[in-house]
Structure 1
Amino acid sequence: MANRLAQTTSPYLLQHADNPVDWWPWSPEAFEEARRRDVPVLLSVGYASCHWCHVMAHESFEDAETAAYLNAHFVPVKVDREERPDVDAVYMEAVQAATGQGGWPMTVFLTADGEPFYFGTYFPPEPRHGMPSFRQVLEGVRAAWSDRREEVAEVAGRIVADLAGRSLAHGGDGVPGEAELAQALLRLTRDYDEKHGGFGGAPKFPPSMTIEFLLRHHARTGSEGALEMAVDTCAAMAGGGIYDQLGGGFARYSVDREWVVPHFEKMLYDNALLCRVYTHLWRATGSDLARRVALETADFMVRELRTAEGGFASALDADSEDAQGRHVEGAYYVWTPAQLREALGEEDAEFAAGYFGVTEEGTFEEGSSVLRLAAAGPDEDPARVADVRARLLAARERRVRPERDDKIVAAWNGLAVAALAETGACFGRPDLVERATEAADLLVRLHMGDTARLCRTSKDGRAGDNAGVLEDYGDVAEGFLALASVTGEGAWLEFAGFMLDIVLERFTGEGGQLYDTADDAEQLIRRPQDPTDNATPAGWTAAAGALLSYAAHTGSEAHRAAAEGALGVVKALGPKAPRFIGWGLAVAEALVDGPREVAVAGPVGGELHRTALLGRAPGAVVAVGEGAEGAAEFPLLVDRPLVGGAPTAYVCRHFVCDAPTTDAAELARKLGG
């Protein structure tokens, strides 16, 4: 019999709807039930494509005996961290403060007031590696609750007080300038892995936001060191196992520092961010590799993540069924020499093994290898490579595909809108701009509704119940602003304004600080607030970037002041921890550069418009349109007429413009950085 999770829209919660555990979704009713029964709440937080979440579910939550004990002595609550990042953030902060580490599944025991008193992540079914079993943990917590309640209350109170006493981030004093950006670059240079690209050791994550900073810094200052780190990191990732050499698109991260073996889940946000990174890298260098990877990643998103409603699904699982029917990680993606021979025949299999690094010993598990460009060089026959790749892809299509998490997350779709719009514009692919527009339409129609308040998720055309958080507003506004520049449709500028007005009204505190939840959102034990990047730009800096771009489009001093207030935290953190505030540094580059405002009085898609979109000036905004109609939609176009009847471009800062030009080459020089 299904439990309460069967009524939810989250694919992760629905995966647990048939558990014998009597799960509750996060709700006031669950905590009222815990108070009524005088038992603790077990909070379990995960997400649909999380490998260890599946493992713990199979070992413990599908076990009838464990479930019976859990149901008798706890109120079990299951949360999808992607639907409720606020709940995840607050309790993850407590877990990390108490244990020094975190991860998913996250396992937290709470009082009926939501106060945490015992923490962990994955617990095995039997004791191992110094870890207690999940049953031992349950029995220990139950004993403490029954016999040492005062101690439990004291611990819970101390933890909540400690969280409340932690200093909130603030806007800081002033905005980051040349000195802070130079210090950030120096620190990144020290952390850079010169041999393999990227930053730090294993596991190694794609540093999308940091690369955006490096590209903008190079465009503004001409720093060859910044460009070199960006180019070499992108080349290493594109040639590694983290990139799907057959179907395009990136896996979540590399378990090693050489980018060989990935954690195989494929997330929308990684691919949206990296699609945009490689497009911007091509814009900076003209690299054929960057062009190929940008387009293959865009095509992967459209082919494998686009939903029937026109939005983009959250993720593909890491695990799928192998040839023996086992549900294992990477089964869809890895190859043995024997599997190559079966798909290609002896001669081509030998070529493919050398080209893609497939060995008898294997680079992954059980003698299998992750495909990477082991021997790619100028001597390889492109036609043969393309033929082998196509045949292997066709063979792979016959395997059991990984499951797809079909929920649409507003923030991540905002990132996808920006990436597809810019990639489509740069490479003359109007179909990608159309896909971006359809996703943006869905966000307006379903996620905004009639109120301009965003809901966080939807699934199958049904809006979810959870309110949008700051990253949703920041990333959706970013997507709308990119779409406005590419399409010349001022409605997207207007929609971005709706989003950012709510940021100003509901998410902004004193001194420029921003909060991750609105002032009228559900109150948790702490109002979450984090200015640092994780796998995606922090909501704080995403909002700052969109506020700055909107101010550049409209001349709004209120939006610019809010952006500058928010960037104070970048001044404080950028020189010390640049890897964790990369998007904030990228936005700071735009601020230092102006950003430049480009008004194109002329046709959408014309030579001047395309030249403006290809400009590398950090964070430049582009308004395009003709006559009174264009001026009505874009403030930048007001009093910017044609010169001599020809399409004309104006490059401005703070609405003060250089002499207009009708020459595309001159415009390109003005926007070179």
Structure 2
Amino acid sequence: MTNESLVDWYEWGPEAFASARDRDAPLAVFLTAPWCTWCDRMEREGFGSPMIAANVSEAFVPVRVDADREPAVRERYQMGGFPSLVFLTPDGRLVTGATYLDPEGLRSVVERVREVWTERGAETGRVPRALQDPDPPRGALDDRVEAHMAGQLEDSFDEQFAGWGTDAKFPLPRTVEFALKRDRQRALRTLDAVAGNLADPDGGFYRYATTRDWSDPHYERLLDENAALLRAFANAYLHTGDEQYRDVAENAVGYLTTTLWTDSDEETTDGGVTAETEPTGAFAGSQSGEDDYFERPVDDRGDADAPHVDATAFADRNALAVDALLWYHAYTDDDTARRYAATALDTVLDTLESDGVVAHHDGGPTFLIGDQARPCGALTTAAQVLGDERYVDAARRVADRTVETLFVDGSLLDSPPADDALGLLDRPLRPIDTTVEFADALVDLAVLTGEERYRETARESLEAFAGARDRMGVDVAGYATAAARVVDRPLTIEVTSDAGSDLHRAALRVADHEKVVVPGATVDGDPEDGDAPFARITANGTHATATTPAELQRRVPELN
């Protein structure tokens, strides 16, 4: 056994599938990720075995896929975790698959699949159920969605250890945010558990805990998951004013802007940007989670090499980081968060976006729903917080191309239909999570632009899943948030003064993280002093105006 794979892997592409057809051999597709220590272990110990490597190369067409770089492949073929090893027919149908296998388990599976293929050939392949009939259960969008999810918050909550569920504990930041407005104590108890068990003392958050009591964490740290938790803690601070939530968020900001920051030549940095200089670059995708490093006391880590950081700048993950950092800045005036967020957003627009089409990474696939939805959301947030009209223009551009290409028969596809797609990539998926993110961005964009068509598209895309509302669990609570923002319309605060004014900053700090703030707005019905800036508040179909931050904070509760 060697320390590295002995398999000569193909990349996911036409050459691998052509080889499988020519040889009439199945493909062995190894889905891995740069942050996944178990992936590395299986590759070294399993595929580093000369006997196993020879059997794989002889009987299969071996394909190695970086799941972070190929999300469409990941969504169709992963076996519920990483690593995933899947065996496919030459046309891409699934034969069988598994997650991590030790060398003996891998040897046994390889031999068994080889025997089955010899006996039955391509007839062993099947199309997974999720791809057989992908049409979602359409229904009416109404307040029953929110009511059902509010009930689920209580029914599924772990009263002993906090969080939702009784097995492995995932932070579920979107669920926390839904609960912050509707079941705050359960939301805060969950954030307290996350802070105590998944927040690294050096900043940032581990992925999840393998046990009900939040112990035995998986230490890998992904940009998107860290960004989502940063925003959840920032929103908890917004609602409570409790400094402990700000402190956790601040530590996450420090992690994102140092360990996960990359300069323009894709080298990670140690945060060498001063207050007098502007950062350049974007956020790295992830950091791997070696147990030997993270189980050390912080003071002892200096003697060890820090775990590997994947410096790839992914559009969707950077967008989530931009969104979270800008809201943290909005609540705290933290300038580091603002500068890094603005730089990363400009990097995405300058290097990955063209005419509304966003690439997943430099040279990567385009028109994936996550890379359209999340940057659109980051742009609407930037328009609210920073007030630059170019962000509204860019959000409109991305939204329009997304609707034009991915909005088909009233629902959103994860990627464009293509006759030449490889394997099962020609079969569409209609993902609920990214549909929610795009719908949220469209609701914001409707308010920012005054164009009702964006809200109607948001409604229709969410209605595609409304028929399943009674079967939804807390893991998709973000759907209920988006539905509520469409059905009831969010609290809207239009401020006639520019971004950064006292009145605008006060509007951003109104304790409702589902609101929309419009800086530099042109508003009819000015107060008596027509020269003074004011804010128009719209909630529940009624309006009020305020001319000072104190009056604004007082008037909002009167309308809700």
Q: TM-score, normalised by structure 2?
A: 0.90
Any residues of structure 2 matched to 1:594-633 within 5 Å, and which?
594-617=489-512, 619-625=514-520
Distance 1:285 1:574 in 2: 30
Question: Contact conserved, 1:48 with 1:317, CA < 8 A, in 2?
Answer: yes
> Which digits, 9 at most, give the CA deviation of each residue in 1:346-383, with x for residues without a partner?
xxxxxxxxxxxxxxxxxxxxxxxxxxxxxxxxxxxxxx
Question: Contact conserved, 1:243 with 1:249, CA < 8 A, in 2?
Answer: yes
Distance 2:192 2:115 in 1: 55
| 1:58 matched to 2:23 | no
Q: Give 1:274's aligned amino acid.
A: L
User: In the alignment, what sits opposite 2:437?
Assistant: 542
Q: What SS class does the counterpart of residue 440 from structure 2 fall into?
A: helix
User: In the alignment, what sits opposite 1:415?
Assistant: 320
Distance 1:160 1:664 in 2: 58
User: In the alignment, what sits opposite 2:76?
Assistant: 90
Distance 1:520 1:615 in 2: 45
> Which digits, 9 at most, give the CA deviation of each residue in 1:628-662, with x for residues without a partner?
xxxxxxxx5365768442221112369x8724321
Among 307, 311, 318, the residue aligned to 1:406:
311
User: In the alignment, what sits opposite 1:645?
Assistant: 531
User: In the alignment, what sits opposite 2:96?
Assistant: 118
CA 1:24/1:670 → structure 2, altered by over 3 Å: closer, same or farther? farther
Question: Contact conserved, 1:541 with 1:584, CA < 8 A, in 2?
Answer: yes
CA 1:273/1:574 → structure 2, altered by over 3 Å: closer, same or farther? farther
Distance 1:250 1:162 in 2: 34
Distance 2:19 2:394 in 1: 41
Any residues of structure 2 matched to 1:9-48 within 5 Å, and which?
19-48=5-34
Question: Contact conserved, 2:360 with 2:366, CA < 8 A, in 1?
Answer: yes
User: In the alignment, what sits opposite 2:278?
Assistant: none
Question: Contact conserved, 1:595 with 1:621, CA < 8 A, in 2?
Answer: yes
User: In the alignment, what sits opposite 1:342?
Assistant: none
Q: Give 1:486's aligned amino acid.
A: V
| 1:432 matched to 2:337 | yes
Q: What SS class does the counterpart of residue 53 from structure 1 fall into?
A: helix
User: In the alignment, what sits opposite 1:139?
Assistant: 111
> Which digits, 9 at most, give the CA deviation of each residue in 1:540-585, with x for residues without a partner?
1111111111112112222111100122245334443231212111
CA 1:665/1:520 → structure 2, altered by over 3 Å: closer, same or farther? farther
Q: Give 1:76's aligned amino acid.
A: P
Tell me how far 1:37 sits from its aligned partner: 2.4
User: In the alignment, what sits opposite 2:463?
Assistant: 568
Among 144, 154, 157, the residue aligned to 1:189:
154
Distance 2:457 2:551 in 1: 33
Any residues of structure 2 matched to 1:226-265 within 5 Å, and which?
226-240=183-197, 242-244=198-200, 246-265=201-220
| 1:168 matched to 2:135 | yes
State the percentage of identical aligned residues: 30
User: In the alignment, what sits opposite 1:214?
Assistant: 179
> Which digits, 9 at most, give the CA deviation of each residue in 1:471-498, with x for residues without a partner?
2211111111111111110111111111
Tell me how far 1:190 sits from its aligned partner: 1.0
Aligned length: 537
Q: Give 1:113's aligned amino acid.
A: D
User: In the alignment, what sits opposite 1:378?
Assistant: none
User: In the alignment, what sits opposite 2:277?
Assistant: none
User: In the alignment, what sits opposite 1:505?
Assistant: 404
| 1:331 matched to 2:292 | yes
Q: Give 1:106's aligned amino acid.
A: S
Question: Contact conserved, 2:356 with 2:400, CA < 8 A, in 1?
Answer: no
| 1:77 matched to 2:81 | no
Q: What SS class does the counterpart of residue 25 from structure 2 fall into?
A: coil
Distance 2:46 2:52 in 1: 6
User: In the alignment, what sits opposite 1:352?
Assistant: none
Question: Contact conserved, 1:472 with 1:539, CA < 8 A, in 2?
Answer: no
Distance 2:430 2:300 in 1: 45
Distance 1:570 1:165 in 2: 17
Question: Contact conserved, 2:136 with 2:465, CA < 8 A, in 1?
Answer: no
Distance 1:192 1:540 in 2: 25
Question: Contact conserved, 2:94 with 2:128, CA < 8 A, in 1?
Answer: no
Q: What SS class does the counterpart of residue 169 from structure 2 fall into?
A: coil
Any residues of structure 2 matched to 1:197-212 within 5 Å, and which?
197-212=162-177
Question: Contact conserved, 1:410 with 1:456, CA < 8 A, in 2?
Answer: yes
Tell me how far 1:227 sits from its aligned partner: 0.8
Unaligned runs of 5+ in 1: 1-15, 96-101, 127-132, 219-225, 320-329, 336-391, 458-462, 533-537, 626-635
Question: Contact conserved, 2:11 with 2:63, CA < 8 A, in 1?
Answer: yes
User: In the alignment, what sits opposite 1:104?
Assistant: 82
Distance 2:346 2:378 in 1: 11
Distance 2:472 2:286 in 1: 29
Tell me how far 1:504 sits from its aligned partner: 0.8
Distance 2:123 2:25 in 1: 16
CA 1:141/1:415 → structure 2, altered by over 3 Å: closer, same or farther? same
Q: What SS class does the counterpart of residue 283 from structure 2 fall into?
A: coil
Q: Give 1:297's aligned amino acid.
A: A
Q: What SS class does the counterpart of residue 257 from structure 2 fall into?
A: helix
Question: Contact conserved, 2:328 with 2:334, CA < 8 A, in 1?
Answer: yes
| 1:155 matched to 2:155 | no
Distance 1:395 1:428 in 2: 34
Question: Contact conserved, 2:204 with 2:256, CA < 8 A, in 1?
Answer: yes
CA 1:214/1:615 → structure 2, altered by over 3 Å: closer, same or farther? same
Tell me how far 1:539 sits from its aligned partner: 1.1
Greater Cα radius of gyration, structure 1 or 2: 1
Distance 1:560 1:269 in 2: 26
Distance 2:27 2:177 in 1: 42
Q: Give 1:243's aligned amino acid.
A: A
CA 1:162/1:662 → structure 2, altered by over 3 Å: closer, same or farther? closer
User: In the alignment, what sits opposite 1:292?
Assistant: 247
User: In the alignment, what sits opposite 1:445?
Assistant: 350
User: In the alignment, what sits opposite 1:580?
Assistant: 475
Tell me how far 1:239 sits from its aligned partner: 1.9
Tell me how far 1:666 sits from its aligned partner: 2.5
CA 1:665/1:161 → structure 2, altered by over 3 Å: closer, same or farther? closer
| 1:488 matched to 2:387 | yes
Q: TM-score, normalised by structure 1?
A: 0.76
